[in-house]
Amino acid sequence: MKKKKIIISFIASVVLIIGIFIGFKILQPPRSTEEKIKNPKPGDTFTIEGEKEIEEFKKEAEKNGQEVRIINGK
């Protein structure tokens, strides 16, 4: 009986810790465009205006081995 309580409390504490980590991940504030440009992650999307700025960003990203897709939203 005592062993069963210990196992149940251990499982409950593990679930609680996992829940806390997931909660912190969900509650993080969204990253700013400047932060996305400086430290891009896969799936980041943002708007850059101006041909010169787009070309600079594309060259920098390709130099770092990152994929860039340009979508014209006109």
Give me the pLDDT at residue 11, please.
95
**What residues does each domain of the chain span?**
1-30, 31-74
Region of residue 50 (left: phi > 0; alpha: psi -120 to 50; beta: else): left
Tell me the pLDDT tens digit for each residue of 6-63: 999 999 999 999 999 998 888 887 777 777 777 777 777 777 778 888 888 888 878 8
Give me the pLDDT at residue 73, please.
60
72: pLDDT strictly greater than 80: no
Higher pLDDT, 38 or 4: 4
Backbone angles phi, psi at 41, to 5 degrees: -120, 155
